[in-house]
Structure 1
Amino acid sequence: MAPTPPAPARAPKPPSGARELSEYFAPQRTSTEALPDPQVFIENLTRGVLEVFAGVREVEQLARWLTEDAYRKLLTRANLAARARSARGVPAKRPVHQILTIRHSSPADGIVEGVVVVAGPARTRAVAVRLEGMDGRWRTTSLALL
């Protein structure tokens, strides 16, 4: 008779009190009904992001609106933009953009996905964002400048 294989090892369960504490202190989802209109947030975030890329606003000023992953990606992209401006010898100056349209939809409760079309002096761009309700406010989990 062949020996039975050993049962797969499982990670030990944390004590029930510790699990409850981590759930309590982790970011709490917030329903869309408990959050303000996302349109204003999306517009302000877009203006801030464009100013970060232009070099006239620090990324840290937007940190409270972004999750850690989105913040890191924005910081990396802002550093690349700063290096490109430095290599060309172009000083940072306040961008003049006109927001043409803001569209957003909610695929699930507490989640909003939006696109902002922005006309600049040289070209028209789109900013895509994904917002999630966390701890009673909107937080940007994904951000793309197209």
Structure 2
Amino acid sequence: MGQDKHVQNPELIKLFAEISQAYIEILVGLRRPEQLARWLSDKIYYEVCQKAKQEARQRALSGSGPRPDITLRKSRTFLSDPEGYEGVVLFRVSGSTKAVSLRGEMIHDRLRITELVLI
């Protein structure tokens, strides 16, 4: 079977956790997408902006609820290839567990998030 390629890089684990938390905060209206722009590929930035607009319209229709309580539960990163890392970050968001899956790749000597999904 395959080997576990879990990466024990505290800086990378922290970065993935912070980006994931910021993504959740964008979706619930606590942050603006521009705050993540420097870390995201152009495609993912566009998708985050569109998702944030969609969520804002939904909140406007249904009424804004109380500010959600967001707590980091666990963060794991994995080396997927020589130029890329994948990660899963678990959060407790107002009583329910959410996971953010993300992929970071080295693009022009900078780590950029090229996949970002809230599960």
Asked if these proteins are the same fold (TM beyond 0.5), I'd say yes
Name 2:74's counterpart in structure 1.
101
1:114 matched residue in structure 2: 87
TM-score normalised by length of structure 1: 0.70
Q: Given the alignment of the two structures, is residue 85 of structure 1 paired with residue 72 of structure 2, yes or no?
A: no
Moved over 3 A (4+): none
Cross-structure match for 2:105: 132
Alignment of 1:23-102 (within 5 A): 37-90=11-64, 93=67, 95-102=68-75
Instruction: Determine the C-alpha separation between the residues in 1 that align with 2:28 and 2:35.
Output: 14
- 1:128 maps to amino acid: S
**Aligned-residue RMSD, C-alpha:** 1.9
TM-score by length of 2: 0.85
CA contact (8 A) 1:115 1:127 kept: yes
Report the residue type matching 2:82 in the other structure. Answer: D
Deviation at residue 91 of structure 1 after TM alignment: 5.6
Measured against aligned partners, the alpha-carbon deviations of 1:49-106 in whole angstroms (never above 9, x if no partner) come to 011011111101111110011011111111111011000121673x321111111111
Q: How many residues align?
A: 111
Percent of aligned positions that are identical: 30
